[in-house]
Amino acid sequence: MPLPTDEKLLAVAQDLLKQFDTIFGLHPGFRPAHARGVLLTGTFTPDPDALSLSRAPHITRPSTPVIVRFSNSTGIPLLPDNDPNANP
């Protein structure tokens, strides 16, 4: 996927990143939001009854490999998971 070149869109993106820095502080090497998380791999195996609810490809296949990332919402990498500010 090519990166955007629209000047207005790029300016909005830069403004948004500056706001994250203002809200969460600077944390070099971490994402500006969802800074800390865990990446997992696995297999999604749908229940046979799911076919009555959807025709989505991952429901109609016997199984689908998945990559999932669970994270807190903030850009603060050392915020404990049980901190009330860790989620929106």
pLDDT tens for the chain, 88 residues long, are: 899 999 999 999 999 999 999 999 999 999 999 998 999 999 999 999 999 999 999 999 999 999 999 998 899 999 998 888 887 6
Specify if 47 maps to a domain: yes
Query: Looking at the whole model, is its pTM more than 0.85?
Result: no
Specify if 84 maps to a domain: no
Specify if 2 maps to a domain: no
The structural domain count of the chain equals 1
Specify if 88 maps to a domain: no
Dist CA 9 CA 33 (whole Å): 19
Specify if 87 maps to a domain: no
Looking at residue 18, its amino acid is K
Q: State the pLDDT at residue 18.
A: 96
Dist CA 76 CA 87 (whole Å): 11
- Phi, psi at 70, each rounded to 5°: -100, 135
Dist CA 56 CA 62 (whole Å): 12
Range of the domain at 22: 7-76
Specify if 86 maps to a domain: no
Specify if 31 maps to a domain: yes
Between strands 64-71 and 37-44, the pairing is: antiparallel
Residue 42 tokens read as: 């696995």
